[in-house]
């Protein structure tokens, strides 16, 4: 069992990270900047360049990389395989052009400052890569991940992740530049490529045919925490397989997400992963801030700042030009270039590896690592400044682009929670009108039943805020809550009113008491689940007894109106039956809407006793208010 000293050893760093996040991020957000900048600044403050509160920043960095892995998994969940194929022109055309052109320009600058050709090549490639975590976080905060320029930016980032294995394989060749390459380097390169291809093929096959049955089995067994553990197992396991094959962990997580993008469990998986992703991604940004060398910055601050601004300017100009060449309007081109300007996470892998191979010597690796970190620190500020500048020109019309959207096509107009008997009939009505809907249900059997309907249905618990958010409720017109659990339905209403104030709430009420509770919460529409069916049944009964269809319809409509009037009076606490004197939710007893012409009659001794007891209780309820007034 761990001792108290062991527990104390890891608590201070954890508390330091949490304190830095909850203090730094809100302050930066109040200043109108991105949360990314808040995490980066917090990392600088608690790191070696600041207060030195963290003794081993490298340990935090190794854990924080999981945040980037989880981020790429969630991005993969947003992409269907067909949409990814449709982006191939931007991935392999624009992405390759960006990496090649920026690498050449930055390597040329390195040569101009005295670096060897091999060193300049490594530095150029490392700085040409973009920060996936920073770019996607900025796009997510703007809500532009599904936009035209957001899709192109993501295509560039994806090509960069794919190219990492080739870049790392290139380093040993650069180390032997000018000398005879080692024997067997070609065979080793072919074996590495084969391992990578086999790993990708294995992930695709398992994801295509194995993951859905796996999650279906777990969902049927029950246990939300097991589903969370399974989601983490899939993401981290795929990431490890890819890393062992020589590819990036982020690439493996992205592939796993793409394989599950069309899964019925997509929203539940996204909701389970999201809390881990947010915290670990914040830790990653703080670890980048901690990587800045304070002593180097103090002695070479002018050169570092100048190089940072120059590198960002070069990338913005070149990438914006390429975006424009591929069909983006100028404003979108500059926005996309700005989010891709910071150097990437892999710079912190490539530069130290080049130093170990003696491609980079002296202070060059430290200088370039600090430069990469500073671009990640300054990049979000420049992107925010450009956004503010372009906001003044928001009235300018933008021509459409041909890039495939990253977001789902056909935004959901209605989110239906619950696909039981009630929800199925509602879905038939919406489907007949061609309304786009998404259904959330935690019953695996209902999910299977919905596969023939043609709309999106996902496994998930509708009472969870993260599931509702992941299902796209924020962009929906209204939510239809069709579950038969009144407490759960009321909880969903409270969540929606608090977090999604613009979404209208249509709710299936369980009974009269539940209907009044929903009316007190100002839902847009509520309907007791048996009212309309019982009224329709009564109308048919009247017609069966000889009334005309018109007379039966009038009688049913009269009963409906009086029932609604009584419901409103009961909600206001103004009923004369004594229920209005109660506080909280009263017990609703069934009472006739039409005065009976004669008293009830008992047909047995047992029934006679029950009726007499009922009459005595009714008389007591009527007399109690009068007695209270006399006592007063």
Report in angstroms the alpha-carbon separations of 559 from 536, 538, 562. Answer: 12, 10, 5
For the stretch 325-358, pLDDT in tens is 988 888 888 988 999 999 877 787 788 878 888 8
Q: Which CATH class is domain 414-528?
A: alpha beta
Q: How many CA atoms lie within 13 A of 376 on its CB side?
A: 38
Nearest to 314 by CA among 332, 337, 330, 291: 337
> With pLDDT > 70 as the criterion, what percentage of the chain qualifies?
77
**Residue stretches of the chain with pLDDT short of 50:** 1, 7, 178-181, 395-410, 576-586, 622-623, 625-632
Report pLDDT digits (tens) over 208-230: 777 778 877 877 776 667 877 88
Which of helix, strand or coil describes residue 621?
Answer: helix
pLDDT for position 180: 45
Q: What is the pTM of this model?
A: 0.57
Q: What are the extents of the domains in the chain?
A: 12-392, 414-528
Residue 437 β-bridge partners: 414
Burial annotation 570-583 (CB, 10 A radius, 16+ → b, else e): bbeeebebebeeee
C-alpha 101/C-alpha 317 separation (Å) is 11
Task: State residue 404's pLDDT score.
Answer: 38
> Taking a C-beta distance cutoff of 8 angstroms, is the pair 350, 125 a contact?
yes
Q: How far is CA 385 from the centre of its chain?
A: 26
| Fold of domain 12-392 | Na+/H+ antiporter like fold (1.20.1530)
* Residue 125 near residue 155 (C-beta atoms within 8 A): no
pLDDT of 178: 44
Token pair for 429: 């009505």
Q: What is the pLDDT at residue 309? A: 92
């Amino acid at each position: 069992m761990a001792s108290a000293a062991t527990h104390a050893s890891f608590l201070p760093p954890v508390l330091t990270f949490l304190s830095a996040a909850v203090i730094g991020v809100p302050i930066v957000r109040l200043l109108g900047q991105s949360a990314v900048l808040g995490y980066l600044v917090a990392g600088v403050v608690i790191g070696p360049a600041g207060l030195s509160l963290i003794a081993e920043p490298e340990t935090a960095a190794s854990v924080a990389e999981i945040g980037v892995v989880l981020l790429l998994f969630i991005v993969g969940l947003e992409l269907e395989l067909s949409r990814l194929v449709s982006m191939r022109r931007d991935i392999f055309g624009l992405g390759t052009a960006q990496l090649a052109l920026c690498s050449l320009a930055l390597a040329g600058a390195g040569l101009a400052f005295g670096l060897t050709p091999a060193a300049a090549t490594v530095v150029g490639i490392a700085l040409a890569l973009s920060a996936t975590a920073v770019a996607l976080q900025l796009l997510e905060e703007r809500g532009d991940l599904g936009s035209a320029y957001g899709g192109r930016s993501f295509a560039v980032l994806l090509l960069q992740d794919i190219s990492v294995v080739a870049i790392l394989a290139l380093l040993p060749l650069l180390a032997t530049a000018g000398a005879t390459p080692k024997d067997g380097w070609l065979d080793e390169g072919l074996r590495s490529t084969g391992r990578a291809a086999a790993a990708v093929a294995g992930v695709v096959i398992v994801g295509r045919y194995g993951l859905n049955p796996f999650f279906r089995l777990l969902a049927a067994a029950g246990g939300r925490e097991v589903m969370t553990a399974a989601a983490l197992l899939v993401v981290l396991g795929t990431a490890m397989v890819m890393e062992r094959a020589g590819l990036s962990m982020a690439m493996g997580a992205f592939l796993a997400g793409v394989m599950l993008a069309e899964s019925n469990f997509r929203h539940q998986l996204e909701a389970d992963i999201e809390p881990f992703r947010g915290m670990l991604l914040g830790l990653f940004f703080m670890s980048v801030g901690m990587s800045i060398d304070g002593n180097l910055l103090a002695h070479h601050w002018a050169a570092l700042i100048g190089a940072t601004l120059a590198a960002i300017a070069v990338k913005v100009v070149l990438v914006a030009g390429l975006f424009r060449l591929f069909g983006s309007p100028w404003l979108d081109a500059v926005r996309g270039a700005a989010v891709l300007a910071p150097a990437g996470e892999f710079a912190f892998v490539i530069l130290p590896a080049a130093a170990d191979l003696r491609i980079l010597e002296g202070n060059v690796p430290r200088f370039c690592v600090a430069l990469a970190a500073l671009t990640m620190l300054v990049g979000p500020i420049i992107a925010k400044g450009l956004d503010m500048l372009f906001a003044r020109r928001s009235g300018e019309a933008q021509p459409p682009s041909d890039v495939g959207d990253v977001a789902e096509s056909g935004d959901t107009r209605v989110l239906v929670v619950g696909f039981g008997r009630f929800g199925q009939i509602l879905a038939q009505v919406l489907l007949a009108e061609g309304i786009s809907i998404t259904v959330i249900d935690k019953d695996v059997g209902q999910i299977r039943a919905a596969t023939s309907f043609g709309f999106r249905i996902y496994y998930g618990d509708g009472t969870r805020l993260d599931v509702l958010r992941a299902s796209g409720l924020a962009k929906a017109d209204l939510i239809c809550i069709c579950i038969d659990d009144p407490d759960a339905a009321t909880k969903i209403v409270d969540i929606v009113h608090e977090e999604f104030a613009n979404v209208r709430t249509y709710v299936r009420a369980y009974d009269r008491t539940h209907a009044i509770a929903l009316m007190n919460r100002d839902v847009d529409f509520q309907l007791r689940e048996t009212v309309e069916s019982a009224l329709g049944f009564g109308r048919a009964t009247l017609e069966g007894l000889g009334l005309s269809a018109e007379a039966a319809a009038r009688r049913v409509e009269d009963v409906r109106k009086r029932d609604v009037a009584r419901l409103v009076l009961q909600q206001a606490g103004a009923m004369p039956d004594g229920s209005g004197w109660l506080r909280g939710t009263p017990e609703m007893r069934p009472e006739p809407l039409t005065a009976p012409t004669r008293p009830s009659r008992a047909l047995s001794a047992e029934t006679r006793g029950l009726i007499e007891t009922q009459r005595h209780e009714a008389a007591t309820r009527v007399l109690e208010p009068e007695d209270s007034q006399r006592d007063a």
